[in-house]
Structure formats: C-alpha cells, structure tokens
Amino acid sequence: MAVSRPQTQVPEALRWGIHNPNPPDPALALILEFGTPSVRQAVLTGLARLNLATAQAQVELWTGVQRAMGQARGG
Amino acid sequence: MPAFDGLIGEDFAAAGGRPRDTSRPIMLIGYQDEENLGLGYLSATLRRFGYRVLVYNFNAEREEILAAARRERPLVIGLSLIFQFYLTRFAELVRTLREGGVACHLTIGGHFPSLSWQPTLEMIPELDSVVRFEGEVTLLELADMLSTGGEWRGIAGLAWRDDAGGIVSAPLRPLIHDLDALPYPDRTQIERAFLGRRSTHILASRGCIRTCSFCSIHMFYRAAPGKVVRTRDPAHVADEIELLHERDHISLFLFQDDDFPVYGVKWQRWAGNFCDELHRRGLVGRILWKISCRADAVDEALFARMRDAGLYLVYMGLESGNDEGLETLNKRITVEQNLKAVATLKRLGIDFAFGFMLFEPATTFEMVRQDLDFLRAIVGDGCTAATFCRMVPYDGTPIKDELIRQGRFRGDVCNPYYDFLDPRLDKFCYELGDLLNVSGWVHGLESVSQQLNMAWSELAVMERLFPRLPGIAGYRKRLRAITKNSNALLFRVVDDISRAYTDGVPHGWTAPELRRSCHGFLDDFLRERDAFVVRNQKILLDALERDAAREPALAGN
C-alpha cells in the first residue's frame, strides 16, 4: 500500500506511518467478520495446520535437545 | 513490599503456611501487538508483592516462548485470551509447552475463559486452571499458594479439573472495589505515534452498565459479584498521566475504558473534576486524550470543558442507522440521539470515530439503505473516514443465545457466524467483503479509511501540540475533501452492489478498479500531507528538538 511509498523529501522524524496509536481489530478478526464461510474455514484450518506443524517441529527440536542434554522436565 | 494492603485484604502467603517464595518468576503470555493494559495490571500487581514477571507476546515465535519457559522455570504461566477466535492457537501453544517439557501450573484468563470456563478446560486439557473475571488478586493468591505449598484448589475465582475428572469452579471473587488500590500498570510498549509524539493506553474506570446484546463486556462484569462500574479517583488518573508525561514524555493518552465516565450527573461531575486536575497540574496544552463513550452521554457543556482540557477524539459505538437495528442490538438509544451527538461534537470541533455494524442478524436491504443515508448524514462531509463491519456473535452474549434459539447460529467458537433472514444478504455481505478486502478500503491497518483517520489524529496533534503552523487550515480543507471523496465512492459502491441483489441490475464494480481508486486516495493524501509537512519542517523539527533536549532515552524506542 501507499504508506511504504518513499518519502525522501520528508525528514525522517516527520515521515508518515510510524505507528497507529489506535489500531483496528486484528486482521484475523476482520477476515472472520467479512470472509465467506469457505475463506474463514480455510484461514482457520491453515492457522491450525501451521500451528500444528510449528508445534511438532518445536517438540522434535526440544525433545532432541532434552535427550542431548539429559535434562529432566522443566517448568 | 507490603504484606497485604487494601487490594487483597489478607495475606495469602501467610495463609499458605510459609513466607511468600518469590524465587521463581511468573510468566504472562498474551496479545501484545498493541499495548495490553490487562497484562500490565497483572504484572504490576504481582511485582508489587515481590514476584519477578516475564511478559511475552502470544504472537512471538513458539520456540522463543518455549525456550524462555524452560530456561526461567516459572512458578506459573498465565495466558490471557482476549480474542476467542485465538482459542485454537492458545491450545496449540499450551500443547507445545507441555510437550516441550514445561510442567509448571498453567492457567488462563480473559473474557472467553471467564464466561466459558468449562469449554475452555475441556478444549485445552493441558491447562490446570482458569482465572475467572478480574484476575489481579486471584492470580496473586494462586502464585502465593503455589509458592508456599498451600492448597490452590478452591481459591475464589478459580476453576479447575478435580480428581474425578470433573470441572469445578470456586465461588467467584468480587470485582475489585477500589481501583486506586491497584498499582499503575506496567507498560512495555510506549510508542511514537505521530510526529515523534508518544502515546499510551490508560484506564479511568472498569465496567459498563449497558446491556448491548452483542457485547460480552457487560456479561463479564455482571457475572461476578460487586459493583459493576468502578471509577478511579480523578486525581489519581491525573497523577498517572503527569508521571507518564514527565518521566516518559508521553503526550497522547488513549483511554480504554469500556464506557468513559461521562453519563449522568455523578459521572459528569467525575469528568469535570478530572479536567480540573489536569489544569491544576499544568498538563493542559501539553497532552491530548481520547475516550470511548455512548452517544447519549455527549453533553455540550461538559464536552466543551473536556475539549479545553485536551480531549481530541471521541469514539462512539453508533452501530446502526435505523431504530430497528438499534433495538436488535439492544443499544437503548435512537438514531436521533446518535445524530445529535455527532452534531454536538462537530459544533465543538472535537473529532469522532465510530463503530458501525452494517450487517447484524436482523439486517434487511432496506435497513442497509437507511444505514447508508445515516452514514452520509454523519460523515458525508468528510469529517472522518467511513468504516463498518459485520456483527460477530461472541460467546456469552444474548444475541448468540438468540441466534441459537432461532437455529441461525453457524460455525463454532473460533468461527462464529449466522444466517441472515434474507439469504440474498449472505451473498451481498460476502461479495462486499471480498471487494473491500481486496481493495484495502475498510479493513486492515493500511486501509484507506484507517489511514485517513490516522491523518485526522495527526492533524489534531499538529494543531494542538505544536506551535501554529502556517497553512494548516488549507491542509485541513484538503484532507476533508479527500476523505469526503473516499466516503462518497464507498457509499456508492455499497449502494450499487446492494441494488444488484434487489433490482437485478449488474453493478459493474471490480476489485482492481476499486483498488486503483483506493491507491489514488492514499496518494492524494500523502502528496498533500508531505507537502504541508515539508513546508513547515523547520517549526516542527525545532519543536521536536526542544522536546528532545529534556527527553530521557527510552529503552526500545
């Protein structure tokens, strides 16, 4: 979007788009409000898959580290 | 460190039988993409009693959170779930922690877990407990019981799984009566908002006496015993603002109250006293503040006084442009009152923003057109950028129960929606949503409407927190013209698409074409804005330099 447009003539301290102090709802909320049922489902399923994959990768990583270091359960 | 004070009324650690052991930290995880005052209050309360608190963004890398939990060996991890559609993601995070070897007590709080504690514990079986409703004291008592080896099951305000696998809740803890007994919230994200000016969120009160059918906030506050709406001492709020302004050079204060205390004689007096306290501390002219309130609370004399004390923006949940819609939403307000509030704010020269549900369960095409007429009446002049949304039936709300009763509720807790009464509205809503999403008009931080509304806030900062800028009236006029053109086209597009469904006339709008228009509005705005800023850069930079001379370095900024 245009906010990333170069503003070379504007001093850095005065450039547009540093931060919105009152941002709207998160993007996901907006998708859930307006997306079609299939879009919503795809987004949520995608997130779940992504999270699952990330979680599995992390578990594999950490169990590996655990084994390597001979640690007991933490936390 | 106080053994106990007015906040807790008793010493939980002593009740646990041993002195409070604060050697292990407490880890809080929540939505931190923007400042989260809820976590800030929890953190500050725990720290007051000697605990070390680590706050993590829920959206941080899972590896980072897991590594921290394993490294720090926290006493308890508290998760703050403020958006129910994140439930699945929280469940995944909890699973990651458990499977990664984190064995400490895991608890969760927030609107959804408080109201739907049983489903929460069923859906996330790795959790040990749920902290229901206001969490400061309950979480502190939980930490004290865990650290002293006391019995945590049965703590007021806590729900847990019993030995037989059943899910039980202790009696609810009363809402915190004296908000002034709470410490100032920890703030980890002090941001530079506009032209180097810093902003932060702040609270003057908690609770809402209204009963809007789509809102879970009033259910949250009514379910627990105690007074629903509690206000801080206006002098205490002004003290916090003064501290943040003097110490951290914050000049924009965004009140996050559910309903800022301005309605009725008692709260009007509160607001008047707050203005007096700002004047007394010499803060007027050095800070600006924003509130959220209902339209029927906009009183001309009071708001003039508030404007003169720094109020620059009022957010109102207008929600509907027809009385039938307002009735469905149980707003207990009329279109006439909404229009009157907008007219009053315009007369006073105070900017306003608004929430508006173009789509709600009772919406008809006729109501959409009435809503468009209403929107044209309030923002057709370009005073602020138009925005609207579709009502989402959140858990714990009367409207969700009603939709279930009518057999119209669809989806699940992470994806709640509903059928409209007229099936053509489903198609219309989704087509409109697609067009607006793709064109970047209404949705997202960088959408046209959001950017233009940020521009209006920046203009308020230019007008009120900098020396007089030559040509600012002309810039205001041009910003208004751009906003007006954007609004007019948006209303035309919505109207045309709605008529395609009712009159059978193809509307002809395409996403690429609208995207080009949106880029055009943003380009026009940035061209005008940058030209104005460049023309006035010496005044602006000199003012910033003067501020910098007395400004301490802020970590992370």
Q: Which of residues 30-69 of A touch B (CB under 8 A)?
A: 30-37, 40-41, 44, 47-48, 51-52, 54-55, 58-59, 61-63, 66
What value does the CA radius of gyration of chain A take, rounded to a whole number of Å?
21
Three-class SS of B371-420? HHHHHHHHHCCCCCCCCCEECCCCCCCHHHHHHHHCCCEEEECCEEEECC
Cβ–Cβ contact B10 with A under 8 A: no
Cβ–Cβ contact B37 with A under 8 A: no
Minimum Cα–Cα distance from A6: chain B residue: B526
CA distance B111 to B221: 10
Query: Which two structure tokens, joined as six digits, stand for B413?
Result: 């807790």
More confident residue, B425 or A13: B425
- ipTM of predicted assembly, 2 dp: 0.80
Phi/psi for B264 (5° steps) reads 85, 165
CA distance B179 to B44: 13
Confidence at residue B497, expressed as pLDDT on a 0 to 100 scale: 95
Residues in chain A closer than 8 A to B195 (CB atoms) = 13-14
| Count of other CB atoms within 10 angstroms of residue B517 | 19
Confidence at residue B83, expressed as pLDDT on a 0 to 100 scale: 76
Confidence at residue A32, expressed as pLDDT on a 0 to 100 scale: 55
B92 to A13: CB separation less than 8 angstroms, yes or no: no
Confidence at residue B188, expressed as pLDDT on a 0 to 100 scale: 77
Candidate from B430, B458, B519 with C-beta closest to A36: B430
Nearest CA among B324, B277, B320, B316 for reference residue B294: B316
Identify the residue among B430, B457, B544, B557 best suited for mutation to test binding to A, counting A beta carbons within 10 A and taking the highest. B430
**Residue numbers in chain B where pLDDT is lower than 50:** 1-4, 553-557
Q: Which residues pair with B315 in a beta bridge?
A: B292, B353
Nearest CA among B223, B209, B122 for reference residue B172: B223
Length of chain B equals: 557
In this structure, which long-range contacts are made by residues B276-285, counting pairs with CB atoms below 8 Å and at least 24 apart in sequence? B276/B234, B277/B234, B277/B235, B277/B237, B277/B238, B278/B238, B278/B241, B278/B309, B278/B310, B279/B309, B280/B238, B281/B238, B281/B241, B281/B242, B283/B238, B283/B241, B283/B242, B283/B245, B283/B310, B284/B308, B284/B309, B284/B310, B285/B310, B285/B464
CA distance B269 to B233: 12
Confidence at residue B7, expressed as pLDDT on a 0 to 100 scale: 67
Residues in chain B closer than 8 A to A71 (CB atoms) = 101
Quick check: A24 pLDDT over 50?
no
Residue B170 identity (one-letter amino acid): A
CA distance B339 to B333: 11
Confidence at residue B165, expressed as pLDDT on a 0 to 100 scale: 85
B173 Cβ partners below 8 Å, 6+ apart?
B132, B133, B134, B137, B138, B156, B157, B224
A44 to B533: CB separation less than 8 angstroms, yes or no: no
Cα–Cα distances in angstroms (integers) from residue B532 to residues B453, B471, B529, in the given order: 17, 8, 5
CA distance B455 to B459: 6
Contact A64, B100 (CB under 8 A): no
Identify the residue among A10, A58, A73 best suited for mutation to test binding to B, counting B beta carbons within 10 A and taking the highest. A58
Confidence at residue A42, expressed as pLDDT on a 0 to 100 scale: 66
CA distance B75 to B104: 6
| Count of other CB atoms within 10 angstroms of residue B95 | 19
B5: closest CA of chain A, how far (Å) = 30
Length of chain A equals: 75
B556 Cβ partners below 8 Å, 6+ apart?
none
A22 to B254: CB separation less than 8 angstroms, yes or no: yes
B101 to A66: CB separation less than 8 angstroms, yes or no: yes
Minimum Cα–Cα distance from A53: chain B residue: B92
CA distance B307 to B303: 6
Residues in chain A closer than 8 A to B459 (CB atoms) = none
Identify the residue among B96, B389, B428 best suited for mutation to test binding to A, counting A beta carbons within 10 A and taking the highest. B96
Quick check: A31 pLDDT over 70?
no
Taking all residues of chain A, what is their mean pLDDT, rounded to a whole number? 51
Confidence at residue B16, expressed as pLDDT on a 0 to 100 scale: 62
Query: Which two structure tokens, joined as six digits, stand for B495?
Result: 């109207």
Confidence at residue B118, expressed as pLDDT on a 0 to 100 scale: 93
Concatenating the DSSP letter of every residue in B241-301 gives HHHHHHHH-EEEEEE--SS-S-SHHHHHHHHHHHHHHHHHTT-BTTBEEEEEE-GGG--HH
Query: Which two structure tokens, joined as six digits, stand for B327?
Result: 């009735």
Cβ–Cβ contact B398 with A under 8 A: no
pLDDT category of residue A62 using cuts at 50, 70 and 90: very low
Residues in chain B closer than 8 A to A75 (CB atoms) = 69-70, 73-74, 77, 97, 101-104
Confidence at residue B205, expressed as pLDDT on a 0 to 100 scale: 96
Nearest CA among B48, B115, B41, B49 for reference residue B78: B41
More confident residue, A64 or B200: B200
Nearest CA among B440, B475, B430 for reference residue B455: B475
pLDDT in tens, B479-495: 999 999 999 999 999 99
Pairing between strand B53-57 and B26-30?
A: parallel
User: Which stretch of DSSP H or E encloses residue B316?
Assistant: strand B311-319
| Letter string b/e over residues B419-447, b meaning 16 or more CB atoms within 10 A of that residue's CB | ebeeeebbebbbbbbebbbebbbbbbbbb
Query: Greatest CA span in chain B, whole angstroms?
Result: 77
Contact A40, B81 (CB under 8 A): no
Contact B159, B132 (CB under 8 A): yes
Nearest CA among B111, B163, B173, B175 for reference residue B141: B173
Confidence at residue B203, expressed as pLDDT on a 0 to 100 scale: 96
Quick check: A74 pLDDT over 60?
no
According to CATH, what is the number of the domain B12-169?
A: 3.40.50.280
| Count of other CB atoms within 10 angstroms of residue A11 | 14
CA distance B84 to B101: 26
Q: What is the pTM of this model?
A: 0.87
B193 to A3: CB separation less than 8 angstroms, yes or no: no
B190-542 folds as pyruvate-formate lyase- activating enzyme (3.80.30)
Dihedral angle, C-alpha B183, B186, B192, B194, nearest 10 °: -40
Three-class SS of B466-509? CCCCCCHHHHHHHHHHHHHHHHHHHHHHHHHHHHHHHHCCCCCC
